[in-house]
Amino acid sequence: MSAHFSRIAGTGSYLPKQRLTNQDLVDMLAKNGLETSDEWIKTRSGIEARHFADKTELTSDLAVYAAKAALDAAKISANDLDLIILATSTPDHLGGFPSTACVVQDKLGAKPGSAAFDVQAVCAGFSYALSIADAFIRAGNFRKVMVIGAEVFSRILDFQDRGTCVLFGDGAGAVILEASDEPGILSIALHADGSQRDILCVPGRATQGGIEGNGFLTMDGQAVFKLAVKVLEQVAHEALEKAGMKPEQLDWLIPHQANIRIMESTARKMGMSMDKVIVTVAEHGNTSAASIPLALDVGIRSGKIQRQQHLLLEGVGGGFAWGAAVIRY
């Protein structure tokens, strides 16, 4: 098969029905003897609400909802997919075995025998998964690839830790890449620094059917903020340079939706107005690998993002891992 470019054919997203406002969370934490406030959460993060999956909902269920919306947008069926790549830190099964992507393949009714696997790079997972999909298509191995970011972070939140439990939510976003004669993914830059793995992690380990140590998310907020601001600016410029572009040529910045202050800092350092930043963090908080495709889908369905516009997607998270992509939509 000859080489191809890849382009975005369709997007989709899904948020669970259970919506908790900051005040809902404040009231819930008060029962645990913890004090916080809507103003405290909003001022420090920009978050106003988040969505939590029902006890019966798995990561694969959220992924399937987003995937179906993306299939509809691309006007193709699940049987047309050659590959499903799912980025998640909260797989259906312990150890990610079997992969949640395989579960999604079955639940979607996609053809058995098509490829499927998971990617783990936490909040940078979607950037990593997108790069793999693009490489497979460019190499001529596949023509239609579904890339999904899906999380149920509510399952790993410690509701005795107000510094983390107010920041995260559940959700899913999906993108379909297809082979094209015209380039859509113009450049991708990926990085990691394992020496920083302890500042954002789930330190517990599986042992003899149980968990050894802490099975909840832990975070050094100040260290994460400082590192995130630094690497996001660097990787944004790197991806733009690879694409032969400058910040002023971008139509939209679509950052990982973790913290409004990090997004504002990145935009400011790139000389971009916040009017050109897709911001959805207020509604769903930090949904890790799902946050970029969620924001992308919201931007497209709202009519803000139009065909032929240039987008910069970027994310950073535990690992420590980060990445960025320049896209002509």
User: Taking residues 50-55, what's their average pLDDT?
Assistant: 97
Q: Which of 182, 204, 238 is the last residue of a domain?
A: 182
pLDDT for residue 2 is more than 60: no
Copy the structure tokens of residue 98: 């079997």
pLDDT for residue 307 is more than 50: yes
What range defines the domain where residue 84 resides? 5-182
Q: Which of 182, 201, 224 is the last residue of a domain?
A: 182
Q: What distance in Å separates the CA atoms of residue 46 and residue 158, rounded to the nearest whole number?
A: 20
Whether residues 51 and 126 share a domain: the answer is yes
Whether residues 156 and 200 share a domain: the answer is no
Whether residues 255 and 291 share a domain: the answer is yes
Whether residues 161 and 40 share a domain: the answer is yes
User: Taking residues 61-75, what's their average pLDDT?
Assistant: 98
Whether residues 116 and 253 share a domain: the answer is no
209 falls in which pLDDT band (50, 70, 90)?
A: confident
Q: What distance in Å separates the CA atoms of residue 118 and residue 120, rounded to the nearest whole number?
A: 7
Whether residues 68 and 202 share a domain: the answer is no
Cis amide leading into 98 (omega within 30): yes
Angle at alpha carbon of residue 143, lines to 136 and 297, rounded to 5°: 90
Find tokens 């004669």 and name the residue.
Answer: 181
329 and 278 Cβ atoms separated by less than 8 Å: no
User: Taking residues 188-205, what's their average pLDDT?
Assistant: 96
Cβ neighbour number for residue 111 with a 10 Å cutoff = 13
99 and 63 Cβ atoms separated by less than 8 Å: no
Whether residues 266 and 134 share a domain: the answer is no
Give pLDDT, residue 95.
Answer: 84
Q: What distance in Å separates the CA atoms of residue 318 and residue 139, rounded to the nearest whole number?
A: 29
Give pLDDT, residue 3.
Answer: 57
Segment (H or E) for 29 = helix 22-30
Give pLDDT, residue 225.
Answer: 94
Residues recognised as catalytic: 123, 256, 286
> What does the DSSP assignment read for 250-313?
-SEEEE-SS-HHHHHHHHHHTT--GGGB---HHHH-B-GGGHHHHHHHHHHHTT-S-TT-EEEE
pLDDT for residue 87 is more than 80: yes
Write out pLDDT tens, residues 277-303. Answer: 999 999 999 999 999 999 999 999 999
pLDDT for residue 32 is more than 90: no
Whether residues 176 and 190 share a domain: the answer is no
pLDDT for residue 96 is more than 90: no
Whether residues 34 and 63 share a domain: the answer is yes
Q: Which of 165, 182, 199 is the last residue of a domain?
A: 182
Q: What domain count does the chain have?
A: 2
48 and 22 Cβ atoms separated by less than 8 Å: yes
Mean residue pLDDT across the chain = 96
Bridge partners, 148 (sequence order): 86, 174
User: Taking residues 196-224, what's their average pLDDT?
Assistant: 94
User: Taking residues 26-46, what's their average pLDDT?
Assistant: 93
Whether residues 169 and 205 share a domain: the answer is no
Whether residues 171 and 26 share a domain: the answer is yes
200 and 168 Cβ atoms separated by less than 8 Å: no
Question: Residue 321 maps to which CATH number?
Answer: 3.40.47.10
Whether residues 124 and 76 share a domain: the answer is yes
Give pLDDT, residue 39.
Answer: 96
Write out pLDDT tens, residues 140-153. Answer: 999 999 999 999 99
Out of 2-6, 135-139, 269-273, least confident range: 2-6
Q: What distance in Å separates the CA atoms of residue 40 and residue 25, rounded to the nearest whole number?
A: 12
1 falls in which pLDDT band (50, 70, 90)?
A: very low
pTM: 0.96
